[in-house]
């Protein structure tokens, strides 16, 4: 492990030196590429630097115990040494987690699809709540958001909403949101005050390019029609909405948010590629043994991942057995702590899988 860490530290310093060269600093594209790589290595370098400092402190305290005659100094060194050893163990565990290989899709932008599930109008209202939650979270992360399609319900809910998020490590952060989200609360439409249980599904798809998923032109059926809903006078008078059907799989994508037929077609193709990529990855994941699945789950939207209990201000993530009592903050976009815990659980499970795989080999 430490040979790998030394190599990471050497690469980190090399990147810093290279970025400081005048010819690189003037090449914006190259500079940004090197900066992204260095930024990805930074958490590992910081943890390793701290670990080495703690190890040096342990050696210094041990030297005092071995050679010092001052009883008071020896007692103090012994007490501090115990804490330093605990710190070193914790840092070593953190380093192992940070060394777990990243999902190659983590750096991709995403397409998020939210649909109201069981529960009728209340499910559509909950879908709208989830959309607002992710929108506010995206703002705190500095991500760019773009709406692809929206189907509203009668009382301010959303039957379905599809949008993109672009920025740093978007898929690596948002992928833990795929699945069934269940809500328990008294609906605004409920006169008797009874608590209802409803659900919405969330699918987080990594954006892919032509090179990732090849789509033959004759495999597509494209229908153009007049868009409905908001958007001004033009939206209902000109045929700009696009319905794209992938004939081999039967996947259908619609987009009508743009006034330009070309832009709607481009957005629809982006969603179609992502869905085909997800389907292909799902087929590959299905071949993995159940015993080797990640603790955080497969990411399949059929998995019930979370319950939002509004009367008790409680959120429960069923994948890792986590319960939090700040639901009001979470639905307002404060997701950082929750997602960080899911990331740690995921890395821990993958680390354990690697250990089991090596021991069983």
Tell me, yes or no, whether 7 and 94 share the same domain.
Answer: yes
Over residues 282-296, the mean pLDDT reads 51
Tell me, yes or no, whether 139 and 15 share the same domain.
Answer: no
- Where among 98, 125, 154 does a domain terminate? 98
Look at residue 83 and tell me if it is in a domain: yes
> pLDDT at residue 36 above 90?
no
% of the chain beyond a pLDDT of 70: 87
Q: What is the pTM of this model?
A: 0.69
Look at residue 37 and tell me if it is in a domain: yes
Tell me, yes or no, whether 93 and 38 share the same domain.
Answer: yes
CA 254 – CA 268 distance, rounded (Å): 6
Look at residue 105 and tell me if it is in a domain: no
CATH of the domain at 252: 3.30.160.20
pLDDT digits (tens, 9 = 90+) for 55-91: 999 999 999 998 888 888 888 989 999 999 999 998 9
Instruction: Provide the residue range defining the domain that includes 188.
Output: 110-206+290-351
Over residues 218-223, the mean pLDDT reads 88
- Where among 283, 306, 334 does a domain terminate? 283
Look at residue 360 and tell me if it is in a domain: no
CA 352 – CA 337 distance, rounded (Å): 23
If pLDDT is split at 50, 70 and 90, which confidence band does 222 have? confident
pLDDT attached to residue 210? 60
Q: Which tokens belong to 68? A: 């010092």
SS3 letters across 66-124: HHCCCHHHHHHHHHHHHHHHHHHHHHHHHHHHHCCCCCCCCCCCEEEEEEECCCCHHHH
Tell me, yes or no, whether 279 and 301 share the same domain.
Answer: no
CATH of the domain at 121: 3.30.70.1660
Tell me, yes or no, whether 196 and 335 share the same domain.
Answer: yes
If pLDDT is split at 50, 70 and 90, which confidence band does 43 have? confident
Q: Which tokens belong to 95? A: 């380093």
Tell me, yes or no, whether 90 and 72 share the same domain.
Answer: yes
CATH of the domain at 26: 1.20.58
pLDDT attached to residue 266? 86
If pLDDT is split at 50, 70 and 90, which confidence band does 308 have? very high
Over residues 265-279, the mean pLDDT reads 86
Over residues 230-238, the mean pLDDT reads 48
Nearby residues of 204 by Cβ (< 8 Å), 6 or more positions away? 110, 111, 112, 171, 174, 175, 177, 178, 299
If pLDDT is split at 50, 70 and 90, which confidence band does 125 have? very high
Tell me, yes or no, whether 190 and 296 share the same domain.
Answer: yes
Question: 203 near 113, Cβ under 8 Å?
Answer: yes
If pLDDT is split at 50, 70 and 90, which confidence band does 171 have? very high
Tell me, yes or no, whether 148 and 182 share the same domain.
Answer: yes
CA 68 – CA 163 distance, rounded (Å): 66
- Where among 57, 78, 98 does a domain terminate? 98
Look at residue 356 and tell me if it is in a domain: no
Look at residue 359 and tell me if it is in a domain: no
> pLDDT at residue 283 above 60?
yes
Tell me, yes or no, whether 201 and 221 share the same domain.
Answer: no
> pLDDT at residue 347 above 90?
no
Look at residue 159 and tell me if it is in a domain: yes
Look at residue 361 and tell me if it is in a domain: no
Tell me, yes or no, whether 325 and 304 share the same domain.
Answer: yes
Tell me, yes or no, whether 73 and 90 share the same domain.
Answer: yes
Tell me, yes or no, whether 181 and 308 share the same domain.
Answer: yes
Domain tally, the chain: 3
Over residues 29-39, the mean pLDDT reads 86
């Amino acid at each position: 492990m430490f040979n790998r860490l030394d190599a990471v530290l050497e690469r980190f310093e090399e990147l810093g030196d290279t970025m400081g060269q005048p010819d690189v600093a003037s090449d914006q594209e190259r500079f940004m590429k090197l900066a992204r790589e260095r930024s990805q290595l930074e958490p590992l370098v910081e943890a390793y630097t701290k670990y080495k400092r703690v190890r040096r402190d342990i050696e210094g305290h041990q030297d005092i115990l071995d050679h010092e005659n001052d009883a008071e100094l020896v007692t103090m060194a012994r007490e501090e040494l115990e804490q330093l050893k605990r710190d070193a163990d914790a840092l070593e565990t953190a380093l192992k987690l940070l060394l777990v290989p990243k999902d190659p899709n983590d750096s991709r932008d995403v397409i998020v699809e939210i649909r109201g599930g069981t529960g009728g109008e209340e499910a559509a209202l909950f879908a709208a709540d989830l959309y607002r939650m992710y929108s506010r979270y995206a703002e705190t992360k500095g991500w760019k958001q773009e709406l692809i399609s929206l189907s509203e319900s009668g009382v301010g809910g959303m039957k379905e909403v599809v949008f993109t998020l672009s920025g740093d490590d978007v898929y690596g952060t948002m992928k833990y949101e795929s699945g069934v989200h269940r809500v328990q609360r008294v609906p605004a439409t409920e006169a008797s005050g009874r608590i209802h249980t409803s659900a919405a599904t969330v699918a987080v798809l990594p954006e892919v390019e032509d090179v990732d998923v090849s789509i033959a032109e004759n495999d597509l059926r494209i229908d153009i029609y007049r868009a409905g809903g908001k958007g001004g006078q033009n939206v209902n008078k000109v045929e700009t909405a696009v319905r794209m059907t992938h004939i081999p799989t039967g996947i259908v994508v619609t987009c009508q948010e743009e006034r330009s037929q070309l832009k709607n077609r481009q957005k629809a193709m982006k969603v179609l590629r992502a869905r085909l990529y997800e389907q292909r990855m799902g087929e590959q994941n299905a071949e993995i043994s159940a015993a080797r699945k990640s603790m955080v789950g497969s990411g399949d939207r059929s998995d019930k991942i979370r319950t939002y209990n509004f009367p008790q201000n409680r959120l429960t993530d069923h994948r890792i057995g986590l319960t939090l009592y700040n639901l009001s903050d979470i639905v307002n976009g404060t997701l950082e702590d929750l997602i960080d815990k899911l990331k740690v659980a995921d890395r821990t499970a993958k680390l354990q899988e690697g250990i089991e795989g090596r021991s069983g080999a």
